[in-house]
Chain A
């Protein structure tokens, strides 16, 4: 792939200037330089790589240029409200907006905050070192301007939902970063929400660690503008007896890619993952899920639902990887897909790689169409065909949607799904 390093160097120069202006600590500079070096060495991911077979990022690489950070046009930003009680952190075009964020209700200082203003605190380096090994994580590390940091101390439960919103108003390149650290027996609910009203390019990184006995509910909702790119690398590490419920929903962007890596590192750790993606001719979604059972008695349940319309192309790649030490692993992974029209496509590959001998692992995938008998039944009640179709797609998605943390978020997502379906409906032929 054609990759002009000068573009990236110019972009980095921009970021470094901002660091200097903001008075960021000196340790940041070598980290950024090294990350860019690593990124340029490996290059932009391309179709010849097994991992990127079905997702072509060439148009995205061309759009990454020196115009990294855009001034925040705060007034134009869409700020979805899903729960009036939640603690919201809003980032407009990559920069924290205190104006759009919650003013009150925050727990003690530093527990929920934006990264850029906290870089001089102890441990801040760790937020920027630990970037996982996804292909674009290094690029994020080199360029990121700001992000959210959620650090819950031992034995603390945050009752309010923490709602992190990355909203983009301009054709910006953004590099959002979310850091979540749960101490022992801590408990929190975090929503990471990406939304835009202009064609942006978002390279997102989320790093999560769940301490011993902690409980995290983490839900990501991606509804970027229809001509956007959204490439996300999420890494979640679970210590002994910790528990994480994850939802990953992709409703937007021209090209969306999620690399979700879950490492069950301590015995007794448990994770539940629910995913939903909706694609059509203009929209492509690629979900890569990698579950690594590293310790004994760990448990995972994963369920992804894909809806493909028109000539849309969805990709699901799910891997359960059980290391030798992870005896008594109990893992199940399932992907089901709905093809709404002829010409719609899904490439699905659930995989197992097992090195322990005493485990319970199941994986599978199914692909089908809307059930004609159900559709007819609804229509005989007077429900118009398009509405009936939407009802059945919503019903298909409900297993994932009902995992969402609160009623208002569920309604919000249901409405978003419905809007998408109505848009699709106009072009769906029988």
Chain B
């Protein structure tokens, strides 16, 4: 079991957002979480990545057998967790490649491995950028500064491609992308698929799932997974909307 979330309750500012969420992801699987706005999708992603400010009032999260909630955000990342942000942060003055190098070296260090050498690092970074159809000039720019919405999302997937995480959580990486960009991003995610790597796709729209086929689809509403199924669930949602499912869950 790669990730096991059990009955997770999380609040912020005294308001409960996640209300008993459970989710299990095995190595190699791609899961999609869909749900209406405000249902708690981003909250789940942020809590898993270790954002401060949330209070976990009940439940547990185990990742590769360790208590994820016990780890600092950087320790989670060093253990192979990656979060693609719904709203990637602009960081003027911090160079994109410099960040990636620091990130990779921190992971190497945590694993007791030597630093990566500069030449092979640059070669790898350039390959991955080409894969994401990103102009090389993006590499030397400040992290996300002045990037368009679509460029930011592409940059998230590029970072993922460089870091090769064991579990990638992608929070609405598809929103705001035109169809060509969507294909590039989906391709980046598909290249990440391997027997020993998993992906948790958070999305609002079915259309991403045309390009990335999930093994499982979950519906998150009001802080809980109310329904799980295979990829056909996404099509059903597209046809019927969330309301029918939510009514059923409530009824």
Point out residues on A near B: beta carbons under 8 Å: 371-374, 376-385, 387-388, 391-392, 394-396, 398-399
Contact = CB atoms under 8 A, between A and B. Distances in A.
Which of the four size classes fits the interface of chain B? 20 to 34
Given A383-B99, A384-B106, A374 B91 contact: yes
A398 B141 CA distance: 13
B74 A383 contact: yes
B51 interface: yes
B166 interface: no
B205 to A, nearest CB: 24
B91 A376 contact: no
Contacts of A379: 50, 72-74, 77
Contacts of B107: 382
Contact of A382 (B51, B93, B98, B106): B106
Contacts of A380: 49-50, 73-74, 76-77, 82-83, 85
A374 B143 CA distance: 10
7 residue pairs, one from A and one from B, having the closest CB atoms: A395-B93, A382-B77, A379-B73, A381-B103, A377-B89, A398-B93, A382-B103
A305 to B, nearest CB: 11
A385 B110 CA distance: 14
Given A388-B74, A391-B94, A391-B98, 13 more contacts: A373-B89, A376-B89, A379-B74, A379-B77, A381-B99, A381-B100, A381-B163, A382-B77, A382-B163, A384-B106, A395-B92, A396-B93, A398-B93
B89 A383 contact: no
B99 A391 contact: yes
A376 B103 contact: no
Given A380-B50, A381-B159, A387 B102 contact: yes
B52 interface: yes
A396 B24 CA distance: 41
B20 interface: no
Contacts of A376: 49-52, 73, 89
A392 B94 contact: yes
B173 interface: no
B78 interface: yes
B88 interface: yes
A395 B98 CA distance: 12
Contacts of B93: 392, 394-396, 398-399
A371 B91 CA distance: 9
Contact of A383 (B49, B83, B92, B106): B106
Given A373-B89, A385-B72, A385-B74, A378 B106 contact: no
A377 B106 contact: no
A228 B197 CA distance: 56
Contacts of A392: 91, 93-94
B106 A374 contact: no
Contacts of B74: 379-380, 382-385, 388
Nearest to A386: B74
B68 to A, nearest CB: 13
Contacts of A391: 94, 98-99, 102
Contacts of A387: 102, 106
A418 B85 CA distance: 28
A377 B171 CA distance: 14
Contacts of B78: 382
B166 to A, nearest CB: 12
A402 to B, nearest CB: 9
